[in-house]
């Protein structure tokens, strides 16, 4: 009995912020000194490394819970289920609900509870909770839903990944150009066909030396209130960590699935950085002494940026609904979903359509 995805949905915000919108920004180094390079040079290097041309921001009047609700409604509609039959709402997020131009996060109640409220679900046995698991939060939510269904504790689960990173960035940090907003969701249901659905998965947490590769810290601009914190990262350390450890986790999941690497048609990896993602997938194929196939790795980062927990579910939804050029997933295809992020956490799922 392998649980299957019966519906997907996503919410991609309307506000587009292009790289050129950063031409008048002031960027500082970690030592609180202004970066001497022109913004044209900074943006050119940024684009060459990350692949990002533009990103999406949520409208000021909206919140994370609003995005999550819209994505959930689309997944529910496609799955054609009664909302009162949903057993679990599992929501991956990391920064709560943040009002536009405010510094404080709102974690009470959980965003999952807010989504349940917004959907109008009356059933008290529908359990709603959030996962704070870094960028792999949505995939981990799918893994947990899989466990609930296989154990008999649930028949239908709604799993959402939703984040407004634009509201926790330090605008004086070059890395702020990476981050974006978005939400993706899926319905996972019980299934009696062992040949389709979630075949295997793997999850790891590296926290001895790696726990603070991503962290909350003060602005690089020394004139900004040091009591206000923003998302920060040690980019080089994350790159080196991911290149070694993500391929290994993917290999663990694939080996448990019983499939061969030749069976994999697509790898949907967290949209963190184009060069890093390409290096990870190439290293994964190197573990099997194989060449990385052309078009194995769909990318949405060029136009959508890095929306944390939302990158994988939105990417999946775009492909399944024919909205990502030159990429499709057909019946019988096996795919891998993989992510890496704060914690440092890594996970991967092998899924058969």
Residue-wise pLDDT for 95-105, tens only, equals 999 998 887 78
Pick left, alpha or beta for residue 306 (phi over 0 → left; psi -120 to 50 → alpha; otherwise beta).
Answer: beta
Given a cut of 90, whether residue 194 has pLDDT beyond it is: no
Sign of the Cα pseudo-torsion (333, 267, 190, 74, in order): negative
Given a cut of 90, whether residue 198 has pLDDT beyond it is: yes
Contacts of 185 (CB under 8 A, 6+ apart): 8, 9, 10, 68, 71, 72, 74, 75, 158, 159, 160, 161, 313
| Phi, psi of 226, rounded to the nearest 5 degrees | -70, -10
Query: Considering all CA atoms of the chain, what is the largest pairwise distance in Å, rounded to the nearest integer?
Result: 61
Q: Please name which of 110, 140, 148, 142 lies closest in space to residue 128, comparing C-alpha atoms.
A: 110
> What is the structure's pLDDT at 119?
98
Lowest-pLDDT choice from 14-28, 130-144, 184-198, 229-243 = 184-198
Fold of 4-189: Peroxisomal Thiolase; Chain A, domain 1 (3.40.47)
Q: How many CA atoms within 13 Å lie on the side-chain side of 256?
A: 17
pTM: 0.94
- CA 30, CA 38: separation in Å to the nearest integer? 17
The pLDDT of 201-229, averaged and rounded, is: 94
Looking at domain 197-352, its CATH class is: alpha beta
> What is the structure's pLDDT at 195?
79
Report CA dihedral (189, 136, 170, 96) to the nearest 10 degrees.
Answer: 40
The encoded tokens of residue 227 equal: 């009591």
Percent of the chain scoring above 70 in pLDDT:
100
Given pLDDT bands bounded at 50, 70 and 90, which one contains residue 174?
very high
- Helical spans, DSSP H, in the chain: 39-50, 64-79, 111-119, 137-150, 235-257, 274-286, 301-304, 311-320
**Chain center to CA of 173:** 21
The encoded tokens of residue 285 equal: 């194929």
> What is the structure's pLDDT at 166?
95
Given a cut of 80, whether residue 192 has pLDDT beyond it is: no
Residue range 16-69, pLDDT digits in tens: 999 999 999 999 999 899 998 899 999 999 999 999 999 999 999 999 999 999
Q: Please name which of 352, 322, 318 lies closest in space to residue 337, comparing C-alpha atoms.
A: 352
Given a cut of 90, whether residue 5 has pLDDT beyond it is: yes
Is the separation of the CB atoms in 140 and 92 below 8 Å? yes
| Phi, psi of 144, rounded to the nearest 5 degrees | -70, -40
More confident position, 84 or 1:
84
Q: At what angle do helices 274-286 and 39-50 cross, to 10 degrees?
A: 30
Average pLDDT along the chain: 95
Query: Could you tell me how many helices (H) and strands (E) the chain has, helices first?
Result: 8, 13
Is the separation of the CB atoms in 106 and 70 below 8 Å? no
Is the separation of the CB atoms in 137 and 309 below 8 Å? yes
Is the separation of the CB atoms in 292 and 281 below 8 Å? yes
Given pLDDT bands bounded at 50, 70 and 90, which one contains residue 319?
very high
Annotated domain spans of the chain: 4-189, 197-352
Is the separation of the CB atoms in 211 and 196 below 8 Å? no
């Amino acid at each position: 009995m392998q649980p299957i995805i019966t519906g997907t949905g996503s919410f991609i915000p309307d506000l587009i912020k292009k790289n050129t919108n950063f031409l008048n920004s002031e960027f500082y180094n970690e030592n609180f000194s202004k970066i001497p390079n022109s913004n044209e040079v900074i943006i050119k290097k940024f684009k060459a490394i990350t692949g990002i041309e533009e990103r999406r921001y949520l409208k000021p009047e909206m919140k994370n819970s609003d995005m999550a609700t819209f994505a959930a409604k689309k997944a529910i509609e496609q799955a054609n289920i009664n909302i009162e039959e949903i057993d679990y709402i599992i929501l991956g997020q990391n920064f709560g609900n943040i009002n536009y131009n405010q510094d404080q996060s709102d974690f009470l109640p959980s965003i999952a509870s807010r989504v349940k409220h917004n959907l109008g679900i009356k059933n008290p046995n529908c359990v709603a909770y959030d996962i704070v698991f870094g960028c792999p939060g949505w995939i981990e939510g799918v893994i947990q839903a899989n466990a609930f269904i296989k154990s008999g504790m649930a028949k239908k689960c709604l799993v959402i990944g939703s984040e407004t990173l634009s509201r926790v960035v330090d605008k004086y940090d070059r890395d702020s150009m990476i981050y974006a907003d978005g939400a993706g969701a899926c319905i996972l249901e019980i299934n009696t066909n062992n040949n389709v659905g979630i075949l295997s998965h793997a999850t790891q947490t590296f926290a001895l030396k790696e726990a603070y590769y991503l962290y909350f810290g003060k602005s690089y601009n020394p004139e900004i209130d040091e009591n206000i914190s923003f998302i920060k990262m040690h980019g080089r350390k994350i790159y080196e960590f991911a290149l070694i450890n993500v391929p290994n986790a993917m290999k663990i999941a694939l080996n448990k699935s019983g499939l061969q690497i030749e069976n994999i048609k697509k790898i949907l990896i967290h949209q963190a950085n184009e060069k890093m993602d390409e290096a990870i997938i190439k290293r994964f194929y190197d573990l099997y002494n194989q060449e990385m196939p052309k078009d194995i790795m769909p990318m949405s980062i060029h136009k959508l940026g890095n929306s944390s927990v939302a990158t994988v579910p939105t990417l999946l939804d775009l492909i399944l609904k024919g909205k990502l050029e030159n990429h499709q997933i057909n019946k019988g295809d096996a795919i891998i979903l993989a992510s890496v992020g704060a914690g440092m956490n890594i996970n991967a799922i092998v899924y058969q359509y």
